[in-house]
């Protein structure tokens, strides 16, 4: 997902939330930063990143499942974990009774339905396009393929923990769903957590991930006031675990090195009534980030880091 184009308001700086949770998380920031710095120093992915900064995550966050070794096929951009790791039935485990909705950004078929996805829908604050085609690497690996692959890997990890996992789309429809329907799917599932998976389409040299948190919106059909606090907790945990597992640094071009950005112009967040965040896992238009995003082994780490953050949030 790129910020360029009509209808996107400038990202808003993250609003601080005071309270015991904020104080506790702030105390853990040096540990998260140190963990990334050590990883980078020994040559981990993203180790040459010039900007460093991370959100805090409680140490010892439960692991959602062990990462399988990448096979030769797994390193291909189009290799999907769904074919290799069939879903495990939910029912037992630490997340028994919890519902997680994964929202793979865009849809591989959107480019065939540009008129359909261009129609305007109500996002509470105003009206926006139903969806977009998303971005792609310079070699043509589509964001929609990336998001679906990571979603499949996350589903396997979370179902192993006993969670009930639902996807907003699984390339099982010609296009979409629209952003308002994506929010509605999470709401109707009464999800305990929703994560929308994306990759950015920014300029060359812009690297790293960032997590997008909902701002306090109360307009029209949108009222996020009740979910701002828990969504912030979810986002902070995901950011911390993403650093820990992938070794990737927070974005060097947005979020002031924290890996956290607050926005009030995204319908998928504005219309949510349950805790929800977006994650931009990297910049597809930068060759170094693209090398990570097109690696099946790295996508497994990305899925693990996001899943670990969800597990930590749901276990409290």
- What DSSP character marks residue 73? G
Helix (H) or strand (E) holding 117: helix 114-118
CA atoms within 13 A on the CB side of 131: 30
Beta carbons within 8 Å of 79's beta carbon, 6+ residues apart = 73, 149, 296
Residues in a beta bridge with 196: 103, 278
* Neighbouring-strand partners of residue 100: 165, 193
Catalytic-role residue among 145, 159, 264, 280: 280
> Whole-angstrom Cα distance, residue 24 to residue 75?
38
Catalytic site includes residue 188: no
Exposed/middle/buried for residue 36 (C-beta within 10 Å: 0-12, 13-18, 19+): buried
Q: Which residues of 241-271 are buried (b: 16+ CB within 10 A; e: fewer)?
A: bbbbbbbbbbbbbbbebbbbbbbbbbbbbbb
**Active site (catalytic) residues:** 280
């Amino acid at each position: 997902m790129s910020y360029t184009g009509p209808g996107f308001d400038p990202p808003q700086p993250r609003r601080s939330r005071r309270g015991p949770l904020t104080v506790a998380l702030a105390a853990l920031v040096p540990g998260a930063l140190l963990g990334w710095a050590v990883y980078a120093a020994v040559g981990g992915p993203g180790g040459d990143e010039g900007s460093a900064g991370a959100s805090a995550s409680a140490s010892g966050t439960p692991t959602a499942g062990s990462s399988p070794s990448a096979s030769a096929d797994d390193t291909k951009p189009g290799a999907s974990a769904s074919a290799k790791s069939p879903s495990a039935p939910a029912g037992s485990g630490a997340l028994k009774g919890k519902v997680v909705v994964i929202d793979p950004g865009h849809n591989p078929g959107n480019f065939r339905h540009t008129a359909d996805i261009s129609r305007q829908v109500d996002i509470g604050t105003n009206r926006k396009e139903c969806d977009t085609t998303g971005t792609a690497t310079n070699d043509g690996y589509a964001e929609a393929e990336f998001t679906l692959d990571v979603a499949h890997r996350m589903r396997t990890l979370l179902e192993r923990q006993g969670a009930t996992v639902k996807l907003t789309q699984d390339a099982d429809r010609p296009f979409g769903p629209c952003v308002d329907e994506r929010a509605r799917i999470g709401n109707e599932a009464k999800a305990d957590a929703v994560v929308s998976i994306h990759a950015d389409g920014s300029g060359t040299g812009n690297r790293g991930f960032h997590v997008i948190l909902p701002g306090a919106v109360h307009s029209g059909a949108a009222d996020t006031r009740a979910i701002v606090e828990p969504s912030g907790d979810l986002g902070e945990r995901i950011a911390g675990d993403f650093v820990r597992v992938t070794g990737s640094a927070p974005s060097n071009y947005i979020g002031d090195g924290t890996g956290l950005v607050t926005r009030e112009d995204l319908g998928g967040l504005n219309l949510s009534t349950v805790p929800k965040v977006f994650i931009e896992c990297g910049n597809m238009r930068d060759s170094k980030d693209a090398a990570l995003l097109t690696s099946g082994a790295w996508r497994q780490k990305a899925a693990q880091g996001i899943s670990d953050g969800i597990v930590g949030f749901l276990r409290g």
